[in-house]
Amino acid sequence: MLPSNSPRRHAIFFSMMPRTLRFASALWCILLSLSALVSASAAAIPEESGSAPDRIAATSRAAELAPGAAETAGRSSPDHHRRGRAAARKGRQSEAAPPDSLEARLSAVLQGRCLRGARLGVEVISLRDGKTVFERNPLLPLAPASTMKVLTTGAILKRLGADFRYQTLFLTDGRIGGGALRGNLYVRGVGAPDLVMERWGEIANDLAALGISEIDGDVVGDESYFDAERRAPGWPSPTNSNPYNAPISALSANFNTVQVSVLPTKAGQKPMVLLEPSSDLVRAVNSARTASGTALRMRRSFDGQANTVTVKGTIGARAGIRIEWLGVEDPPRVAASVLKAVIEQSGVKVQGKVALGLTPPDAELIYAYPSKPLAEIVADANKNSINFIAECLQRTLGAAAYGTPGSREKGARAVRQLVADSGGPIEGLELVDGSGLSTENRVTVKALVSVLAGMLSDERAGPAFLASLPIAGEDGTLRHRLLDARGRVRAKTGSINSARGLAGYVLDLDDRPAYAFAVLVNGYRCGETGVLAAMDELARVLVEAAGTVSG
């Protein structure tokens, strides 16, 4: 029997028609042919007839809603659309994932009420064979929040290696003799983000051990290793003194924050207020009172010369100590003043003042202070999601890759190259900062997962990168999440405004990474708890699946 679509069968059938019917059928075919010509002409109308943004937006929406839509863009034949719809109806049931499959279970999580109407992207790949296990809007640019740190920390570990150490330099334009440094002491910052107060004390003691008991010049801070930009576009205003908004500098002290400690005294009296670090450029104004209850307010202001920490309200007589950290402005000058203060506390007399300036080219190096290994610094940034560290790392990366001064733009350029080298897409990336704090950042989940997968193949950087990520139920920002999957998820969290993210690895029963995954959710309409629960459920499904790939 001839097939139904055989041209010969159509001809035989046509010849069997009555003459009148054959004439009508022929006329109908001619009309259909004319219609097809009109349709083809309409499809050939040049691009100028519609705006490019409208076309791009329409194509993007179609691609998001229908897998393979991009492949059929531009096909305007009515027959093609009818065949496509018929095939979709016919094949929908056969193409649907089995209800117990990993794909179906992950899809079910995304159908939850909390994620309805949100803009989201999900990408999961198997690390056994590199194949994509699941994806949803993998190329949709989304605000990454602190999952941006995955890109920043991965890039700098690859560039400098886990054992790299910053070297903060101390130089003089004078000479040392007779127990005195005759000239200025320059401290040249190179972006070390770990110069907390304990380390400044070590520096002061080491300088005194060089036989210096007096400095008859100034203490000069040099921050020229980075550019002078303090905050990225899309960051909060400098008046926001939250520590996550601390300004950036190549020369910094204590994450460019001040620790404010308030201790109660007798009822009706002012409490004790202590500031650390101690600096002439950070002072306290205390108008608080010790009372029966606690309602403290602390804020920092800056008048262009000094930072003022204002403490108001009350602290309970039995409340115990209250501690808060506030960001401080003019970080290189504050750091230089901290150095002067700790030097004097170690018994060295400083005759001069605190100043900022460039280190003379012929200055003599008298001491270099090493930072912690980069692996430990990256772990601090990722596990505790410290924006200040990530921003220093981004600028350090820029300086290492493209020369000083280090900058956001140079660092972003190096990160973009990492994504490309990892086989990921660079389209849609807007890398405005290194921490994810900027509201202008945009990243795709496919770019994140490409870097995650690529990091594991780097023997020099991969182990340190994996170790830097928060561990579910154990430490960092995942300490209190996924308690029933303790130790099986290592991932960077992200949280800013109405954007949440989770990107990292799921481990198998032998503690080997089985999946790399990323999920970003923007513009959700339910509470944060619901979004985090959905993300954790996605990870939990992968944990259960990874239990079957051990060995």
7 confidence band (pLDDT: 50, 70, 90):
very low
Q: What is the pLDDT of residues 462-515, one digit of tens each?
A: 999 999 999 999 999 999 999 999 999 999 999 999 999 999 999 999 999 999
- Tokens 């990870």 locate to 539
Q: Each residue of 237-281: pLDDT tens digit?
A: 999 999 999 999 999 999 999 999 999 999 999 999 999 998 999
Structural domain total, the chain: 2
- The predicted model scores a pTM of 0.81
CB 444 within 8 A of CB 429: yes
pLDDT tens-digit readout, 512-531? 999 999 999 999 988 899 99
Task: Report CA dihedral (222, 228, 232, 235) to the nearest 10 degrees.
Answer: 80
For residues 231 and 326, give the distance between their C-alpha atoms in angstroms, rounded to a whole number. 16
Q: Mean pLDDT across the stretch 544-550?
A: 74
What's the number of CA atoms in the CB half-sphere (13 Å) around residue 410?
A: 20
Q: Is residue 59 part of a domain?
A: no
Q: Are 408 and 433 in contact (CB under 8 A)?
A: yes
What is residue 525's predicted lDDT score, i.e. its pLDDT? 87
Q: Kindly report, residue by residue over 59-113, the tens digit of the pLDDT.
A: 333 333 222 333 333 333 334 333 333 333 333 333 455 667 999 999 999 999 9
What is the pLDDT at residue 467? 98
Percent of the chain clearing pLDDT 90 (strictly above): 79
The pLDDT value recorded for residue 548 is: 59
Considering the domain boundaries, does residue 15 fall inside one?
no
- Are 310 and 217 part of one and the same domain? yes
- Residue 454 tokens, joined: 């690529």
Whether residue 277 has a cis bond before it, omega within 30° of 0: yes
- For 445-460, what is the mean pLDDT? 97
Report residue 306: phi and psi, to 5°.
-145, 160
Q: What are phi and psi of 184, to 5 degrees?
A: -85, 150
Choosing from 371, 395, 417, the residue where a domain stops is 371
| pLDDT tens per residue, range 372-401 | 999 999 999 999 999 999 999 999 999 999
What residue numbers bound the domain in which 386 lies? 102-163+373-546
H or E stretch including 58? helix 52-65
Q: Is residue 121 part of a domain?
A: yes
What is the C-alpha separation between 544 and 551, in angstroms, rounded?
Answer: 15
Quick check: is 57 in a domain? no
Q: In terms of domains, do 305 and 381 share one?
A: no
8-state DSSP, 4 = T
C-beta atoms surrounding 236 within 10 Å: 15
Does residue 10 register a pLDDT over 70? Answer: no
Please state the separation of Cα 35 from the chain's center in Å.
Answer: 54
Do residue 334 and residue 481 come from a single domain?
A: no
Whole-number Cα distances in Å, 82 to 7, 87, 235: 21, 9, 50
Residue 44 within any structural domain of the chain: no
> pLDDT value at position 96?
56
State residue 188's pLDDT score. Answer: 98
**Pair 132, 113 in one domain:** yes
Out of 330, 351, 371, a domain closes at: 371
For residue 81, is it within any domain?
no
Q: Is 62 among the domain residues? A: no
Point out the domain boundary residue: 334, 349, 371.
371
Are both 250 and 363 inside the same structural domain? yes
Q: What is the mean pLDDT of the chain?
A: 85
Taking Cα atoms as reference points, which of 509, 510, 513, 475 lies closest to residue 493? 475
Give the chain's length.
Answer: 551
- The two three-digit tokens of residue 349, written as one number: 């007399």
Compute CA distances 416 → 48, 154, 275, 489, whole Å. Answer: 33, 11, 40, 26
- Regarding whether 523 and 398 lie in a shared domain, the answer is yes
Distance CA 532, CA 502 (A): 9
pLDDT at 100: 79
466 and 506 in a common domain:
yes
CATH number at residue 325: 3.50.80.20
Rounded to whole angstroms, the Cα distance separating 32 from 425 reads 44
Distance of CA 328 to the CA centre of its chain: 23
pLDDT at 53 over 70: no
For the beta sheet containing 513-522, the strands, ordered from the edge strand earlier in sequence to the opposite edge, are 132-136, 119-126, 513-522, 499-507, 489-496
Residue 275, pLDDT score: 97
Contacts of 387 (CB under 8 A, 6+ apart): 146, 244, 245, 246, 435, 436, 437
Identity of residue 131: K
* CA 78-84-86 angle, 5° bins: 105
Same domain, 218 and 262: yes
Distance CA 229, CA 65 (A): 41
How far, in Å, CA of 147 to CA of 503, rounded?
6
Cα 415 from chain centre: 11
Peptide bond before 405: cis, by omega within 30 degrees of 0?
yes
Regarding whether 532 and 466 lie in a shared domain, the answer is yes
Q: What is the CATH number of the domain that holds 501?
A: 3.40.710.10
Position 142, amino acid: L
Quick: pLDDT tens for 216-228: 999 999 999 999 9
Q: Are residues 196 and 342 in the same domain?
A: yes
Residue 398 belongs to some domain of the structure: yes
Establish how many alpha carbons lie within 13 A of residue 203's alpha carbon, considering only the half-sphere containing its beta carbon.
Answer: 29
Query: Would you call 379 exposed, middle or buried from its count of C-beta atoms within 10 A (0-12, 13-18, 19+)?
Result: buried
Question: Do residues 303 and 428 share a domain?
Answer: no
For the stretch 289-335, pLDDT in tens is: 999 999 999 999 999 999 999 999 999 999 999 999 999 999 999 99
DSSP 146: G
Among 335, 351, 370, which Cα is nearest to 174's?
351
- For residues 319 and 388, membership in a common domain is answered with no
Alpha-carbon dihedral sign for residues 24, 30, 31, 33: positive
More confident residue, 43 or 497: 497
pLDDT confidence of residue 43: 31
Rounded to 10 degrees, the C-alpha dihedral 135/137/140/143 comes to -70
**Nearest alpha-carbon partner for 120 in 110, 130, 112:** 110
